[in-house]
Chains A and B, each alone.
Chain A
Amino acid sequence: MTKPLLDVEDLRVRFHLRTGTVEAVRGVSFQLGRERLGIVGESGSGKSQTGRAILGLTPPPGEVTAKRLAFDGIDLTTASKRTLRELRGGRISMVMQDPKYSLNPVMTIGEQIIEAYQAHAKASRSEARDKALAMLEAVKMRDPGRVFSLYPHEVSGGMGQRAMIAMMLVTDPDLLIADEPTSALDVTVSMEVLRILDELVTERGMGLIFISHDLKLVSSFCDRVLVMYAGRVVEELEAKNLREAQHPYTQGLMRCLPTLANDVRPLPTLNRDPSWAL
């Protein structure tokens, strides 16, 4: 077995609040190779905080501890700020939920991609410009030259999210963390965005962490799925074996969705067992 791209052991995220300490992530461990890993859970399960903690983006007053948190052999818990800054946006990138909030509204899309590129690669402006245009083409923008000079508010949600992906992938990262990248988009648009993401990840041999609340989507998109509940991983399984899930929470999540295929009524609801959270 080759060395994992990302090695996480006993990751914990705590928030020290006035009312006491809240542990959002309670001992998450996993290893990631150059594959597509899905992290699924409902709101409050700690899935987003896991993604943020890997990138060192935990908002204050959060505190991150881990027995091991290593990216390609680099220990992220002890790495200098400088090293972290170089990794972030360079070799590890993140795509957020809503392009409206993650693109700078007063810079054109092209400028933002160029800036992202030049922050991590020594390149002349014209080189960076070529690279940005190539990237916009890679995310299947119909007219890259035009999109290049548009401001974020001038493009649709789907185009914005594709621009965001272009910006995040322009530095050729080894690991991409996508936090609900399509939940602000319409279904047909999100399928297209996912298809582009899938192609790029496969072509470039990246590792992908796909964080989502949508079990159906994650299982059809990823190779492996971690199911999180109350800050813990309750089950880890191959995406294709999702139907054979063992944990009652995973089973419950699977069943409670209405499907076109079969009409069950009333829908089975999830009876939360307090022991799951232990």
Chain B
Amino acid sequence: MLDIQNLNVVYGTGRLRVDAVKNVSFHVESGAAYGLVGESGSGKSTVLRAICGLAPITGGRVRVDGQEVTTPRGKAFYRTVQMVFQDPYASLHPRHTVDRTLSEPLAIHGEKDAEARILQALREVGLGPSFRFRYPHQLSGGQRQRIAIARALILRPKVLLLDEPTSALDASVQAEILNLLDDLRRRLGLTYILVSHDLAVVAHLCERLLVMQHGEAVEETTADALRSGVASNPYTQALIQASRGFTRADKPSVQALAG
């Protein structure tokens, strides 16, 4: 479904040159969920943004559904690939009602039957029709994220790019959104690319994942391997260790890497 070969993303030139992503390659089967894990500055979000055209592809190639993507992306691309952002407080237009937010993609692509599709989209993300004419400020964080997911799904894309979709939410709300995403993928046969700093979240949603550090791919592994604590790379080990919570015993490996 998605094939990325030697992707490079470079911002700026000369002294200001930043290599945000260096030679990253991975392949995602149709209907699979693939995770990108790393800390801030690892380039994991930049990979997502490069796929959907919000960041430049400096080198390498991105293939979606067998076709290499064009710059600028065409309308057909956006019907295939959609994105959900990290902060639901920033990703909804503050002056638009839910109705307007959801009808916009339909209007752009000249879809008919907006009324029914909006109600269906709301139903899919577990919200009733009573939410249709609310403004974002009348919604909680979890409800906003559900609207953002509904907006991404309303064009019936095949690939969903998820950029830290739960990290701005409370733990109990995170569980609801993770369940929803899990359920939607099965029901609609979606392909996910999930970016997160939280190993547990990635392992919960994805089968395979790529650990990134400083713009480079460190290790490709599987959720099962993570669960059993198997990792060949010391950085992945450190991440697994950190995700288990604070330990009093000294772990020099973590310290050495984190500095």
Q: How far is the CA of A189 from the CA of B258 in the complex (A)?
A: 5
B176 interfacial by beta-carbon distance below 8 Å: yes
- A248 to B: closest C-beta gap in Å: 12
Chain A residues whose CB sits within 8 angstroms of the CB of B238 once the complex forms:
188
Q: How far is the CA of A188 from the CA of B256 in the complex (A)?
A: 10
A257 interfacial by beta-carbon distance below 8 Å: yes
Contact B227 A42 (CB under 8 A): no
Q: How far is the CA of A111 from the CA of B113 in the complex (A)?
A: 64
- A218 to B: closest C-beta gap in Å: 9
Chain A residues whose CB sits within 8 angstroms of the CB of B182 once the complex forms:
265-266
Contact B199 A267 (CB under 8 A): no
**With contacts A260-B226, A263-B204 known, is A270 near B248, CB below 8 A?**
no
Contact A158 B245 (CB under 8 A): no
Chain A residues whose CB sits within 8 angstroms of the CB of B254 once the complex forms:
188, 191-192
Contact A187 B170 (CB under 8 A): no
Interface size class of A (residues with CB under 8 A): 35 or more
Contact B246 A269 (CB under 8 A): no
Contact B245 A186 (CB under 8 A): no
Instruction: Name the one of A157, A256, A266 contacting B172, with C-beta atoms under 8 angstroms.
Output: A256
Interface size class of B (residues with CB under 8 A): 35 or more
B171 interfacial by beta-carbon distance below 8 Å: yes
Chain A residues whose CB sits within 8 angstroms of the CB of B227 once the complex forms:
260-261, 263
A81 interfacial by beta-carbon distance below 8 Å: no
Contact A253 B171 (CB under 8 A): yes
B127 interfacial by beta-carbon distance below 8 Å: no
The stretch among A5-13, A89-97, A209-217 that forms the contact with chain B is A209-217
B116 interfacial by beta-carbon distance below 8 Å: no
Chain A residues whose CB sits within 8 angstroms of the CB of B229 once the complex forms:
260
B151 interfacial by beta-carbon distance below 8 Å: no
Chain B residues whose CB sits within 8 angstroms of the CB of A189 once the complex forms:
39, 258
Q: How far is the CA of A113 from the CA of B223 in the complex (A)?
A: 45
Contact B204 A191 (CB under 8 A): no
Q: How far is the CA of A43 from the CA of B173 in the complex (A)?
A: 11
Chain A residues whose CB sits within 8 angstroms of the CB of B200 once the complex forms:
257-260
Chain A residues whose CB sits within 8 angstroms of the CB of B246 once the complex forms:
191, 194-195, 198, 217, 220-221
Chain A residues whose CB sits within 8 angstroms of the CB of B232 once the complex forms:
none
- A199 to B: closest C-beta gap in Å: 10
Chain A residues whose CB sits within 8 angstroms of the CB of B242 once the complex forms:
187-188, 190-191
Contact B172 A253 (CB under 8 A): yes
Q: Which of A231-278 contact B (CB under 8 A)?
A: 252-253, 256-261, 263, 265-270
Contact A42 B170 (CB under 8 A): yes
B92 interfacial by beta-carbon distance below 8 Å: no
Q: How far is the CA of A263 from the CA of B223 in the complex (A)?
A: 10
B244 interfacial by beta-carbon distance below 8 Å: yes
Contact B175 A192 (CB under 8 A): no
- A145 to B: closest C-beta gap in Å: 17
Chain A residues whose CB sits within 8 angstroms of the CB of B172 once the complex forms:
42, 252-253, 256, 269-270
Whose C-beta in chain A lies nearest to the C-beta of B241?
A: A191
B243 interfacial by beta-carbon distance below 8 Å: yes
**With contacts A198-B248, A220-B245 known, is A186 near B39, CB below 8 A?**
yes
**With contacts A188-B257, A191-B242, A217-B245 known, is A269 near B197, CB below 8 A?**
no
Whose C-beta in chain A lies nearest to the C-beta of B244?
A: A260
Contact B255 A267 (CB under 8 A): no
Chain B residues whose CB sits within 8 angstroms of the CB of A50 once the complex forms:
none
Chain A residues whose CB sits within 8 angstroms of the CB of B259 once the complex forms:
142, 192
Q: Which of A101-137 contact B (CB under 8 A)?
A: none
Q: How far is the CA of A219 from the CA of B248 in the complex (A)?
A: 12
**With contacts A220-B245, A220-B247 known, is A187 near B239, CB below 8 A?**
yes
B6 interfacial by beta-carbon distance below 8 Å: no
Q: How far is the CA of A187 from the CA of B39 in the complex (A)?
A: 8
**With contacts A158-B258, A260-B227 known, is A187 near B243, CB below 8 A?**
yes
B40 interfacial by beta-carbon distance below 8 Å: yes
Contact B203 A267 (CB under 8 A): no
Contact B255 A192 (CB under 8 A): yes
Whose C-beta in chain A lies nearest to the C-beta of B238?
A: A188
Contact B245 A258 (CB under 8 A): no
Please give me the 6 A-B residue pairs with the lowest Cβ-Cβ distance, nearest first.
Answer: A256-B175, A186-B39, A220-B245, A258-B204, A270-B172, A42-B170
Can you report 23 residue pairs joining A to B where beta carbons are below 8 Å apart?
A187-B39, A188-B238, A188-B239, A188-B258, A191-B241, A195-B255, A215-B171, A217-B245, A220-B245, A221-B245, A221-B246, A252-B172, A253-B172, A256-B172, A257-B174, A257-B175, A259-B200, A260-B227, A261-B227, A263-B227, A265-B182, A266-B179, A268-B175
